Amino acid sequence: MSSPKISIDSLCVKELKEKRTTSPHQLPIYATSSFEFENMEQGIDIFTGKTSGHVYSRYGNPTIDTVSQKLADLEAFGTGLNAYGYLTSSGMSAISTVILSLVKSGETILTQGDLYGGTTELLLKVMAHSGIKTIFTDLTALDQVEYLLQTNRNIRLLYLETPANPTMKCIDLSQMARLAKKYGVITCVDNTFCTPIIQQPLALGVDFVIHSTTKYLNGHGNSISGVIIGHDEKYKKQVWTTLKLLGSTCNAWDAWLINNGLKTLALRMKKHSENAMAVATYLSKHPKVINVNYNGLPDHPYHEVASRQMKQFGGMLSFEVDGSLTQVLKMINKMKFCSMAPTLGDVDTLVLHPATSSHLNVDKAQREANGITDGLIRLSVGIEDVDDIIHDLENALK
């Protein structure tokens, strides 16, 4: 049957059938808000869950879903687990979505005091208003962690970063997963610093992994997004429903940019780690540097834990210089090769002063109790020629 004749005005508006004859070599960007049904029955079947299919990009999109699954496959690589992933609009939306999916009002989150400042603020300023309590403790003190899990049965989620941002403290993931399972508590790890190339929390018994994909997974500083990765089917629908209704989903463009970045992830993480080790070694010998937080240094207090659960030591480090706040800021301002930018994980080296930026709104007493002093500087070591990075630090420290 021939198609009905339409006017030229209508021809301008209407989509033609896709003229694709062979498969694209690169993942296409599906820049569409919705998807057409062949008939109403198909739409009903998808909406009721009888069959799977795309209906609306907030619920799922071929570009987003493809990249989500690739990230899940990377986290679960070699484990035999069937992991699933959901891309979100940012790393913070990944954290808030997973918490709101799993924790109810009246329940408690157990976590560490040296989290990324935004996460601490989220817990104290947003989740607290929803009736979700937070206990901060030293997660390296296993007896204390077990005591809290044993005596407070309202604890629903054990949330952690390892290495921590920006102190680089390492937490034993296997031990945390063991204790959490013993007391029926869900575990979630922010694996942004390491990526699955360096560390795979799922392989160590953890339930959920989140990332700010803005950082190393993309690696080029040109998108904002996050991801939630899990493997237990009983939580899958819960997480997806919360994500869908909060509307904190990713978009196809940012998903596509992540996919481009992932192609060089393994190469980049190797170079980031090599450069960071060289920079940390240089800083550890400098007379104006009081302390270097890098788990690759053999005398670092968390070197042994990091060696067990990380394949490399990553590109992140922090160091404390001997001087007042004014002197420290002056020293940072003297850096010309490294960029002053409030992010991490890009291919170029980035410097940040946590006390006046990422952790500005964290209580000063909590900050300093966890080693985030006015003298602490965070460095996201890039993949440039390491001699150029060291030369810039040398000039700044004079």
354 closest CA partner among 114, 105, 131, 132: 114
Contact 35, 162 (CB under 8 A): no
Q: Which two tokens stand for residue 222?
A: 């040109």
> Can you tell me the distance from the alpha carbon of 63 to that of 136, in angstroms, rounded to the nearest whole number?
38
Biggest CA-to-CA distance, the chain: 84
153 belongs to the catalytic site = no
- Tokens representing 362 are 């964290």
**CA atoms of 158 and 179, how far apart (whole Å):** 10
Q: Quick check: is 116 catalytic?
A: yes
The residue annotated as part of the active site, out of 114, 172, 190, 207, is 190
**156 assigned to active site:** no
CB atoms within 10 A of CB 72: 24
Please enumerate in sequence order all residues whose Cβ is within 8 A of that of 269, keeping only pairs 6 or more positions apart, or say none: 195, 197, 198, 216, 312, 314, 315
Q: Which residue has the tokens 């989150």?
A: 109
Residue in 133, 156, 169, 215 annotated catalytic: 215
58 is catalytic: yes
CB burial class (10 A; 0-12, 13-18, 19+) of residue 194? buried
Q: Say how far apart CA 203 and CA 235 lie, in whole Å.
A: 18
- Bridge-partner residues for 376, per DSSP? 320
Point out the catalytic residue in the list 30, 59, 116, 302: 116
**Count of H helices and E strands in the chain?**
15, 12
User: Which member of 30, 58, 114, 302 is catalytic?
Assistant: 58
Give me the long-range contacts of 135-141 (CB less than 8 A, separation at least 24). 135/108, 135/109, 135/110, 135/111, 136/111, 136/112, 136/366, 137/110, 137/111, 137/112, 137/113, 138/112, 138/113, 139/111, 139/112, 139/171, 139/176, 140/169, 140/170, 140/171, 140/172, 140/302
Residues identified as active-site: 58, 116, 190, 215
